[in-house]
Amino acid sequence: MGQPAGGESTVNLILYVRDQAAATAFYRRVLGEPSLDVPGMTEFPLGPGTVLGLMPEAGIRQLLGDAIPDPAGGAGIPRAELYLRVDDPGTYHARALQAGARELSPLTARDWGDEAAYSQDPDGHVLAFARKLEA
């Protein structure tokens, strides 16, 4: 993937959320302070060149109209998974649960070589916190 002229390449992962303020409060407790929090978009830096965005369902609906189904129709149905490799997945997983996530699977060694824990955020998105297991 090339970089835009005169700028750095950034990957923005955007989750559509029912209530931006509530989702921001949840992710603030799990990930820390956002780098941007304005009406219509909250952004959390995940690493170099990678940002997690939270956009209200009504905002994307207003932006794209009838070109897409109304995201509110999928309330509670997992529509995305955010798989984050972190130094201490147990701590992140515990933060998510304390912030209101529902546990899907505890921190466990997985057959692909990671230790990962899974939960579901209040909007139904699946969160995985993982780290590579030492060989």
> Is 1 contained in some domain?
no
Residue 4, pLDDT > 70, answer no
Residue 88 located in a structural domain: yes
Average pLDDT for 17-42: 97
Q: What range does the domain containing 95 cover?
A: 11-132
| pLDDT over 70, % of the chain | 94
Domain assignment of residue 120, yes or no: yes
End-to-end CA distance of the chain: 31
Cα–Cα distance measured from residue 45 to residue 49, given in angstroms and rounded to the nearest whole number = 8
Question: What is the rounded (10 degree) CA torsion for 47, 22, 41, 30?
Answer: 0
Measure the CA–CA gap between 72 and 84, rounded to whole angstroms.
Answer: 25
Q: What is the pTM of this model?
A: 0.84
61: CATH: 3.10.180.10
Q: How many domains does the chain have?
A: 1
What pLDDT, on a 0 to 100 scale, did the predictor assign at position 122? 93
